[in-house]
Each structure stands twice: as structure tokens, then as C-alpha cells.
Homo-oligomer: A and B are copies of this chain.
Amino acid sequence: MAPEASPLWAKNLPLDRAIHHFTVGDEPTTDRALLAWDAIGSAAHARTLAKGGYLAHEDVRALLAALKELHGEALRGTITITPEMEDCHTALELALIERCGEAGKRIHLGRSRNDQVILALRLLMREELAQLGEQVIQIALAFLALGKTHATTPMPGYTHLRRAMPSTWGLWASAFAEGLLEEVEALHAVLARFDRCPLGAAAGFGAPLELDRAHTAKLLGFAQVQRNPIDVMNSRGRHEGALADWLASVASVLEKAFWDLILFSTEEFHFVTLPDAFTTGSSIMPQKRNPDVLELSRATCRLLRGQANLVHEVASGLPSSYHRDVQLLKAPVLEMLKNASGMFAVLPALLNGLIIEAETSQAACGNELYAAHAATALAINGMPFRDAYRTVAAQVMTGGFAPDPDLYTGATRADLTTPKALLHDHQASLHTARTHWQECLANVWELPIDQELP
């Protein structure tokens, strides 16, 4: 078969091209997402070089102007990284040399691709992760809105996938909001890992000149410097793993909702009807409406879990410091971010569009769901619970169990306001963080070179 249509086409390349193809790998593609961040990181580095007296002010100004241009072009996607350039760092340096001449050749003083790429990745992961956090909050709020609309609409509570006790849609929906809230809280710890500026680690043992690392950190909105340069190298993979674990944990919360909704929307349960826009037809069976979005979401949860494991697998098993192996972390991390975001983007509308089939879900709440209530009532009236349990069990077995649900308090009422308030707090706190970062990045372009950082 010809190259284009087969995943194995590389095996027919001449040796030098096969080696180049293998070592460059996906970089020309993955690095498109890094270019803009590399431009920002490079600008901060140029400023710190100037502060140390290693770069003339006119050189810095030329570099900043060119980097700002390149940053814009990177965002618009108009820069191509050719396989010959290999990665975004070479592409950037070549463009700087082309646009600024000698000054372009001065930018790499005091840094290595090793710390340069970690900085670009960290800036990207920090921003994207915060945005993903905002998406998760949106989803949690959509669950709460659904829970509010159907706060008391009855449905059976299931254990072992068997009808167990009376529950409500309100309780069901808020469970996922609470689970997501826990994840949003945990997100701060992941962002805290990233809140250390790696630049200055150079190849992993520091740079042989005096760089004000705290200055770079402040320029880029980091709370602190990542002190030990070997640890900077060691944190590549560790940070990707923390990001991946968090996404996988969010996925593990959502997965249960997807499974529930797939079951609840079967002909057999019929507790919910999915909005049309979220279903698709069959190529052979004209009558079908399939819950494809939910299935793909469920599968995306497993995919994210698989990718988290893959990230750990690739990142692990190595001695300290830099090894080329870590290059293979880029693509899976970017994939995870894309997969999560693509799924998150459709979920609020899906939740808003759900049509709750209240009659059916109520009808499924038979009297047998009140067996625990009946036993509890007996116990409150003095019979030891274990005996009450046996008494009601005997009634159930012999068909003599006929409770009056009106006697009982029914389903537990969900607290919908506390999680909402907490989610809004987190929303505000993420917004504050992102605003701070944006101001820092704006300053990287705009601030007069001699001016003290605000």
C-alpha cells in the first residue's frame, strides 16, 4: 500500500529520513500549541537578561517587538513549524534571527531548551487547566439547576442497580455537583504545583551567570521560583501526571452520570428523554435514536483514564534529570486537554435539555422502597432495629408488606444552595488567577524595560 493510507508508511523511508521522522515525531504538530507560550517565556527571559546586564536595551526592544508579533501569528496559526525545524524553539529562534539579526542569536544565553520547553508547557497547562476548571464549574452548576427544577420529583434510589429507597432527581443531580465541587477544590493543589517558575534551571544544573530568577517568576505570574534545577527537570512528567490524574478524577465523577443517563433513557427505564440534538440514527435500522453523545462521553472518561495512565507510564522509570524520553509526553497531554474540553463543552446544554419523565420515575417508586422506613419506624417505637429488620423482611417475603408511604418522611432533601455558593467562590478565585496571569503577560510586552515590576 502507498504511504498515505497506511500507518506504517514510515517503514519505506530512506534511513536518514526514517531517523529524522522518528526523532522529530509529532513535534511539528504538538509544538503549534506551544509556540505562543514560548514567545511569552522568551520575552520574559529577554527582560531578565537585560536586568542582569547581559542584553542591551535596544536588543531587548527589538526582541520584544518581534516576539509579540510572533505571539500574535502563533495565536492566529499562521506560523508553520517544518519538520526540519523540529520544534517550536528552533522555529522561534530562527524567526528571531531573521527579524532581529544578531539580537536573535543572543536570546538563548542562560537557558537551555530543557527549561525553555518546561516553561512553555507550564504556562500552557496552567492556563488550560484553569479554563477546564471553569468548564467543570459550569457543568456542576448545570447539575444544580437540574436538581433545583426537579428538587422533589421522585425516583427510586438504586443500590446494586436494584430499586432500594425513595430518592429524587434533586438528590441525584446534586450528587454530581458535589462530586465536581470536590474536584474543583482539588484543582487548586494541582495549580499550586505549577506555581513555580522553572526558567533558570537551564539544562538542569543552573546557568553559569547571575540571573534574577525571582524577577522572571514575577513577570510571568508565578508565586515562587522552582529552586532546585534538577527538580525542575524531575518535575517534567510529575506535573503532567498531576494534571492527568485530576482530569481522570473529574472523569470518574462524570462517568457515573453518563452511565445513569444511558440507563435511565432506555426503553426499559424511560426516566428521561435525551434532547434530540444529542442523539443520532442508525445506518440500517430506521427507527433508532441512539445516545451517541452520552456514549462518547462515557468512553471519553475511560479514554482520559487510559491517557492518565499512559502519561505516568511514559513519564516514569527514569533516572533523575533530563532524558529525551519526555518528548513523548507532549502529545498525550495535549490530547487529554482537547478530549476533556471537547466533552465539557457539550455537557451543560445536555443537562439543560434533559426531559425528565417524572411520571415514569415516580411510578417506579413502589411501596417496597419503604421497607427500611418501616423497619426504622418499628425501631423508633422501641423494637431493636435488627429485630425490626427481620419483622419487615418476613412481611416482604410473605407478601404482607403494605406500608403507607404518607407516614414516612420520604426522600432526603438535597442541599442545593451550599454547593452553589462554593462553586461561585471557586469561579471567582479562578477568574482572579486568570486575570492576574493575563495582566502579567500584558506587562511582558508593554512594561518599559527599566520599570520595576508592579
Residues of A266-289 whose CB lies within 8 A of B: 266-269, 277-278, 280-289
B residues in contact with A237, CB < 8 Å: 252
Pair B310/A89 contact, Cβ less than 8 Å = no
Pair A345/B298 contact, Cβ less than 8 Å = no
Pair B105/A387 contact, Cβ less than 8 Å = yes
Given contacts A242-B249, A319-B263, A419-B227, contact A328 B346 (CB under 8 A): no
Identical chains in the assembly: 4
- A402 CB, nearest partner CB in chain B, Å: 12
Pair A295/B160 contact, Cβ less than 8 Å = yes
Determine if A209 is an interface residue (Cβ-Cβ < 8 Å).
yes
Pair B319/A175 contact, Cβ less than 8 Å = no
Pair A228/B175 contact, Cβ less than 8 Å = yes
**Which of these binds chain B: A5-13, A423-431, A446-454?**
A5-13
Determine if A357 is an interface residue (Cβ-Cβ < 8 Å).
no
Pair A165/B324 contact, Cβ less than 8 Å = no
Determine if A207 is an interface residue (Cβ-Cβ < 8 Å).
yes
Determine if A443 is an interface residue (Cβ-Cβ < 8 Å).
no
A246-270: contact bitstring with B at CB < 8 Å (1 yes, 0 no)? 0011001101110110110011110
Closest to A325 in B: B299
Determine if A60 is an interface residue (Cβ-Cβ < 8 Å).
no
Q: Considering the chains assembled together, what is the distance between the CA atoms of A384 and B62 in angstroms?
A: 15
Q: Considering the chains assembled together, what is the distance between the CA atoms of A318 and B66 in angstroms?
A: 46
7 new A-B pairs (CB below 8 Å) besides A8-B341, A159-B203, A164-B321? A160-B323, A174-B231, A175-B320, A227-B419, A260-B319, A296-B325, A303-B328
Q: List 16 A-B contacts (CB under 8 A).
A: A5-B32, A5-B77, A15-B346, A157-B230, A159-B233, A159-B282, A162-B291, A174-B228, A175-B231, A179-B234, A186-B242, A203-B284, A287-B368, A287-B393, A292-B324, A306-B311
